[in-house]
Amino acid sequence: MVGKGLRALAARGLFDGESLVPVGPAEVDFPGALVAVQRHFPDVVLVDLTGIESLEAIDDVMVGRPVPVLALHPGALSGQDAFQAMALGALDVVERPAVPGADFWAHIARKLVLLAQVKAVRQTRSVTRAPKEELPPPPFPLVAIAASLGGPKAVAQVLRKIPRDFPAPIAYCQHISEGFTEGLAHWLTMETALGVTEAEHGMVMVPGTVYIAPSGSHLLVRPEGRLELDSGPALRGFRPSCDMLLTSAAETFGSSCVGVILTGMGRDGARGMKEIRERGGRTIAQDEGTSAVWGMPREAVLLGAAQEVLPLERIGPTLVQWVEAC
């Protein structure tokens, strides 16, 4: 994300090569920085230090959804602002010339690639500002499930062990071919005691019901248990994205959230499940022996996102036990 005066230059100079690929808009207004990071899940963020709003943007990101940040110092600000950016969590500050050329942007691109490999650390609030309105506590616990190849059969086995009066809704993201989620919802309704439906925008979740992300839309959960469908770009090749669902679940439900990653190829969902664990929620990854493909669960384990690694037959009973204890 860059200051308004640099948008065209940065978009042209940074993404000329193959080392950097934008996952969302190439430019974001500073007040919307945190929302953009939560929605697009970038590996690294570039901030142009053009005033107090840029510092507040760094603070918002590093408190709300930490990600490696590189700040550009235009030289018009005092050196104190550069150090303040690092105090707020920026990993590095680079002086930006008045008229940056191709060599400068190539240097910045290389630095961003390196910083993207660094683990960002969550910061405590540093910038003093008016207190924000406190969100009400979640109305119920939430279970969020991510799955890909082999997922429908695995999810059915998990849901069969969950009773009709389960005191939490279940949000479920499945990588599946376009148009198949409605049929999946109908099949799971016949296979389990729970209500199962394709999620709709604005729908309010109720306990004992499974909400499936429709093919072609990201599924997000919001305060008061409201669902949001996002038709924005695919995230790392997936729409719906498991990372986007699990991250929104972590941000909205915190310690009242249980995240589950089942069989599937790739790594989608591992970062989102790590976010659930870091915010005090509980997490489960399916074990290798019962997974059709131990890809997504393995990535969650390697990332330290899985509190428990369980065989498929134990996941449903564990969910019942954990949710009743919430």
From the candidates 43, 48, 268, 287, give the one annotated as an active-site residue.
268
201 assigned to active site? no
Buried b (16+ CB within 10 A) or exposed e, 271-287: bbbbbbbebebbbbbbb
Structure tokens at 241: 């994205």
Sign of the CA dihedral with 191 first, then 192, 193, and 194 last? negative
Q: How far apart are CA 116 and CA 110, in angstroms?
A: 10
User: Of the listed 148, 217, 248, 291, which one is catalytic?
Assistant: 148
Tokens linked to 75: 């030289």
Candidates 208, 127, 206; CA nearest to 166 is: 208
Tokens coding 280: 């005090």
Annotation says 175 is catalytic: yes
Among the options 175, 215, 230, 287, which is catalytic?
175
Distance CA 116, CA 255 (A): 28
Annotated catalytic residue 268: yes
- Residue 97 DSSP label: P
Q: Where are the beta strands (DSSP E) in the chain?
A: 45-48, 69-73, 92-95, 142-147, 170-174, 195-198, 209-212, 218-222, 226-230, 257-261, 282-286, 308-310
- Give CA separation, 149 vs 207, 216, 220, 297, in Å: 27, 17, 21, 12
**Token pair of 187 as six digits:** 């099949």
Q: Look at residues 207, 211, 209 and name the one whose alpha carbon lies nearest to residue 220.
A: 211
- Residues 43 and 31: their CA atoms lie apart, in Å, by 20
User: Is residue 247 within 8 Å of 257, Cβ to Cβ?
Assistant: no
Show which residues are catalytic.
148, 175, 268
